[in-house]
Amino acid sequence: PLLTKDDIAEMEDLCHQMGKLTHVRVRDKYLLLNRQFHFVPFRRVGSGRLLRMLDGLWDAAERYPAASLVSSADSHQEHLQVMDAVRAHNVEAVIQATDRHRVRSLSALEERERSCNREFSGAVR
């Protein structure tokens, strides 16, 4: 409810730009825009402390392979679903779409961790 028309326009623009950058060769550019996209609503909260904390968490998470486990194309489709809900001013749909987006990334990270653990266990034997 706190997003302004300018916020929504900024998110639309970022989403449009990301749509042009779904190839793996431009993943770094996609991830930069992805961060900007997600921080538009974060800024609306109005807490500098929270923004600094989220910024630090985002920086820490970028060190791990999670960012590359979900393809840019899949991530972009999820962003389009978020934007559909944002444009409709449907808070519940925004929550559901962002939850699916977050859970997909976490699930990919968990699967990668399980796979690495299996490989490590096999190598140690």
User: How many folded domains does the chain comprise?
Assistant: 1
Range of weakest confidence among 16-30, 31-45, 51-65, 87-101 = 51-65
The residue written with tokens 């190839």 in the block is 23
Phi first, then psi, for residue 2 (nearest 5°) are -85, -10
DSSP string, 48-97: HHHHHHHHHHHHHHHTSTHHHHS-HHHHHHHHHHHHHHHHTT-HHHHHHH
Q: Determine the structural domain holding residue 44 and report its residue range.
A: 5-124
CATH classification of the domain holding 59: 1.20.120
How do residues 45-84 score in pLDDT, each as one tens digit? Answer: 999 999 999 999 988 877 665 556 678 899 999 999 999 9
pLDDT, residue 1, reads 63
Position 35 scores a pLDDT of: 94
Per-residue pLDDT band for 106 (boundaries 50, 70, 90) equals: confident
